[in-house]
Structure 1
Amino acid sequence: MKRYLYLWHRWLGIVLCLFMALWFVSGVVMLYVGYPALTPAERLAPLPPLPAKPCCVGLDRALAASGEQAAPHSVKLTSIANQPRYLLSYPGKPQVAIDARSGQRIAALGEADALLAGAAFARGPGVRYLGLVDQDMWSHSRALDSERPFHVVQVDDAEQRRLYISQHNGRVVRDVTAQERLWNWVGAWLHWLYPLRGGVFDHWAADVVIYLSLAGTVAAILGQVIGLMRWRFAKPYRSGSRSPYSGGFARWHHIGGLLFGFVLIAWIFSGLVSMRPWQLFASQSTLSQAAYRGAELRPEAFALSAETALARFHQVGFEPRELDWRITGGVAYLVAYDRTGDRRVLPAAGISEPYLQVPGTILEHGALAMQPDAQVDFLWLTGYDFYYFARAEPSMYAQQRKPLPMLRVRFDDPASTWVHIDPYSGEVIEQLDQRMRVYRWLFNLLHSWDWLPLLERPLLREALIIAFSVGGFVISVSGVVLGWRRLHPRAGPKKARPPTKTRTEAQ
């Protein structure tokens, strides 16, 4: 049995140690340079203030111009190429853009339109057109699938940004700086095995990562077992060492594995969990966000016009860059965003001035409609905890807004669902059922070390991750060398031959 443990560990290690070494190097890079994403602050800052007059056709004309029979999932008034545009979202489709002044639907954009949109977003520096792409190494995100293909525009600024602009509506959906392009070659591009994406292996890319991580987890566990078996706790070897290896890469591999092996196992296993294999962490919650809204986004729900709403916001000194039409618990209202992402709420009936938050009674009424027969517990969170926390750049969660206070609604449904609601907009931030909370432990905690005491001490967190990554790198590189020597015996250190005996000595 012991022999088979050695054999499985050896041959799995020969195949996998190079991948593990790359994962450790790229993981450290990702601490400081994450995969490109457009954060809310980056998206809002270049937008001009929405003018109160002349502004917009009515919501009824905008929805009629979309050509869609169903009510939109969301309605937004924003600026594209410095012109006001309605953006209508329908599930599984690219956002529909409507010219807010003429009420005409925007057709597919060409090169000239993309340059205008890019120049407006860049706000000063010159722009150059690079082409139309469906997917490249900076736009692999599944969240962008409905907006493909993209016009790519190069900005001649200090950061040498590239803007990805939806061909369907002219919206800038991603910006990538030269520094992000450079460091991601040895960061996320390697860490997530993106060389497999977008080509002939694209269909199997996720499975490759899953099974490599699974095999790596098995190899690391076997190595930990063997390392403990070979360590002399009671009586050292003849050399005086408690390791059977007196020096070289074998000793580094053995002792490094004992010191850092458990963290190595946790990181590789949690990397496997991040892929959500075999639907193990698929949400089982049946709560409906349509029920939370309580009504469809129809023009008759909004008595207040866009021009009147914008005038109300300007009267209180708030300059909206974007305007959202929302319904929660059957109550219609508009949410305005300024250039910093700060928000104000105005009832669609127009009978009051803008206020800071959606009233809690409206939020709770909408939440109760999601599962009318369930027992519900309301908790207003005023500080971050283990299941709700903010991440700064360059985390892949940096673009997710995590405001405080926040309303947590806990249901006693079969999936034991928690719903987090943003009171500044009424938006459902996330739904966490029991499986997703387990996922939070097995991925976010084990892989990213998203633990509040460490997140509050970023320098300590980074130092610990780097130190343990160096340990994992030592294990992996020494494994690569040992594996190479196993496959190519001549590559190893030459052993001194015993002196040849003379005939007289032999006698």
Structure 2
Amino acid sequence: MGGLKKPLIWLHKWLGVVLALFFLMWFASGVVLYYVPYPALTSAERLAALAPLALPPGCCLSAQQAAAQAGLPAPTQARLGMLGAQPVWRLATPGHWHTLDARSAQVLAPRDAAQAQQIAAAFAGREALAVEQIERDQWSVPQGLDPHRPLFKMRMAGGDGLELYVSPFAAEVVRDTRRAERFWNWLGAVPHWLYPTVLRQFPQAWHQVVVWLSIPAVLLAATGLVLGLWQLFLNRSRWIPYRKRWLRWHHIVGLVAGVCTLTWMFSGLLSMNPFGVFGGGGPAASLRSAWEGAMPALVRGPEQAVQAVQAEGLQALEVDLLRIAGQAWWRVRTRTAGADLGQRLLRADQPGGSLQDAVPEATVQAALAALRPQAGAPALERLAAYDDLYYSRHGSGALGQRPLPVWRAQWADGVHAYVDPASAAIVQQGDGRSSYRRWLYHGLHSLDFAPLLARPLLRSTLVVGLSLLGLALCLTSCVLAWRVLRPVRKYPVRGDNRA
């Protein structure tokens, strides 16, 4: 170790000079991000603002019929809703959104600024004071909004600084932000994720910058921990060898916070799935195709599902088509007189049957059993509570409130899938590498282990407390880095006549 110590000290010193401010920024912004997530329009917010469906007699075409008549490819998403007094299909095709008249399949022209203002005012229940057309800005930069661009950005009346983003192609609000939310995100998500628009608008470049900045950050944390432990256990002369105040405190705080600093930097690197170590993302197209099965002939239209829901005294807000194992179900999003949101399902490819809350469990089990015939029969289990891989935590991101109950299928080759019977969808799928990602990224970075998720106050205390320790370590690092770059000048003592 003696021969390696000087190179390690040199490496740790100069990596610290370069990265000290980044570490300080990451720890401080991480605390803010823990409490204030990046702006997003949640499904509940979108549904709560919808006007009730009012379908005239003879309405409506199915989404597949409308797309075919309009000469569009088969939609990947389709929702029947209202645009003012007009029922429309909002269809997503690869890379683009379209709004079609639900009766004639006529493709509607993209909304102009005045029409976008009307959409925003109807959504928020307040006046749109100003409108501008933008390609992207700080709060609309993620590529998930690319099929909607360019967007109309609205400044709304009210003291909360509400701003809405309207898609001219889908003719609906796709993002909302408020003044306080934007302020805290400038201190949280933007610096923490290196998310300024000038960089984030280029996804591949942003990815490479984050990865190649994270790798030396891991080296910095690792060399510091190694040097601290060497001094603690192998240096017999003195555990804390430094007499200068800032070096001494850097060593002491590093011994306390070194492990969490290293695990946070390492898990932050893994959040970017560097070099594809965790494989791809969601279910493959072939798996989804096998799950949905062949498209059946529809014998019921969406208007029949809406009428059935209205007969129960519910408001129908939106309709989409769910497919599972060659079956088709109309899903009607509903609202009660008390403004509670819900849904009801009606079989679309059979004349019989009544409204359901979810797809029958026997259908889900049969679909899962036949999903991967080459891998054998899976072990099936109905989960009424979260497990280690499928769980929820606070916030509005991907791991926000997730549906229960779900069905879990596990195959012998390590592949697993979770299915929500209420949406007839595979809500999570992965293989053995997904387990590593869950523990090495989510677990280490967010401390979302099951015992801590069950004790949110304890988890918050640990996250904030360890972050403050990391912040103290980074403050000492910044002082030491500054002194490397600007050494303290020693002035001769008064009366000293030496040259």
Instruction: Give the residue type in structure 1 aligned to 2:287.
Output: S
Deviation at 1:247, TM superposition (A): 5.0
Deviation at 1:142, TM superposition (A): 2.4
Mapping 1:80-99, distance limit 5 Å: 80-81=83-84, 83-90=86-93, 92-99=94-101
Contact 1:422–1:428, Cα closer than 8 Å, also in 2: yes
- Whichever residue aligns with residue 275 of structure 2, its letter is W
User: 1:82, CA displacement in angstroms?
Assistant: 6.0
Cα 1:201–1:288 shift into 2, 3 Å: closer
Q: Counterpart in 1 of 2:344? A: 344
> Paired residue for 1:34, among 34, 37, 50?
37
CA-to-aligned-CA distance 1:232-266 (integer Å, 9 cap, x gap): 678564xxxx3112352212211111001000000
Count of residues in Structure 1 that have an aligned counterpart in Structure 2: 486
**Letter aligned with residue 164 of structure 1:** Y
CA distance in 2, matches of 1:497, 1:383: 72
Sort the Cα spacing of 1:100 and 1:224 in 2 relative to 1 into closer, same or farther, 3 A.
same
Residues 324 and 490 of structure 1: CA distance in aligned 2, closer, same or farther (over 3 Å): same
Contact (CA 8 Å) 2:61, 2:103: kept in 1 or not?
no
SS at structure 1 position matched to 2:315: coil
Quote the residue 2:193 is aligned against: 192
1:114 aligns with 2:110: no
Q: Gaps spanning 5+ residues in structure 1: where? A: 503-507
- Find the counterpart in structure 1 of residue 318 from structure 2: 322
Which whole-Å CA distance do the structure 2 matches of 1:196 and 1:213 have between them?
Answer: 20
Among candidates 274, 280, 285, match of residue 283 of structure 1: 280
Taking a change above 3 Å as real, the CA distance of residues 126 and 425 of structure 1, as seen in their structure-2 partners, is same
Rounded to whole Å, the distance in 1 between the matches of 2:176 and 2:273 is 28
3-state SS of paired residue (1:267): helix
Task: Tell whether 2:405 aligns with 1:405.
Answer: yes
Please report the RMSD computed on the Cα atoms of aligned residues, expressed in angstroms.
Answer: 2.5
How far does residue 385 in structure 1 lie from its aligned partner after superposition? 1.3
Cα deviation per residue 1:193-244 (whole Å; 9 max; x = unaligned)? 112644797652211111111101111110011112223678564xxxx311
Contact 1:74 1:326 survives alignment (8 Å): no
Alpha-carbon separation, structure 1, partners of 2:82 and 2:55: 13
Deviations 1:27-58 (A, max 9, x none): 00011111001111111001122125458332
Q: 1:252 to 1:105 in 2, by over 3 A?
A: same
Q: Does 1:166 align with 2:170?
A: no
* Alpha-carbon separation, structure 2, partners of 1:201 and 1:283: 20
**Pair 1:335-2:331 in alignment:** yes
Contact 1:343 1:425 in 2 (8 A): no
Matching residue's letter, 1:63:
A
Corresponding residue SS for 1:373: helix
SS in 1 for 2:369: helix
* Residue of structure 1 equivalent to 2:216: 215
Q: Secondary structure at the match of 1:269?
A: helix
Map 1:52-67 to 2 at 5 A: 52-54=55-57, 56-59=59-62, 61-67=65-71
Q: Is the 8 A contact 2:142 2:201 kept in 1?
A: no
The 3-state SS of whatever aligns with 1:342 is strand
What SS is found at the alignment partner of 1:338?
A: strand
Displacement of 1:391: 2.4
Corresponding residue number in structure 1 for 2:265: 268
Q: Determine helix, strand or coil for the equivalent of 2:254.
A: helix
Q: Displacement of 1:164 after TM fit? A: 1.2
Q: Which amino acid aligns with 1:417?
A: V
Change (3 A) 1:369 1:497: farther
> Cα distance 1:78–1:411, how it changes in 2: closer, same or farther (>3 A)?
farther
Aligned to 2:136: 135
For residue 301 of structure 1, report the CA deviation from its aligned partner.
Answer: 2.1
Matches of 2:192 and 2:485 in 1, distance apart? 26
Q: Compute the TM-score of the two structures, normalised by the length of structure 2.
A: 0.91
Alignment partners' CA distance in 2, 1:202 and 1:289:
26
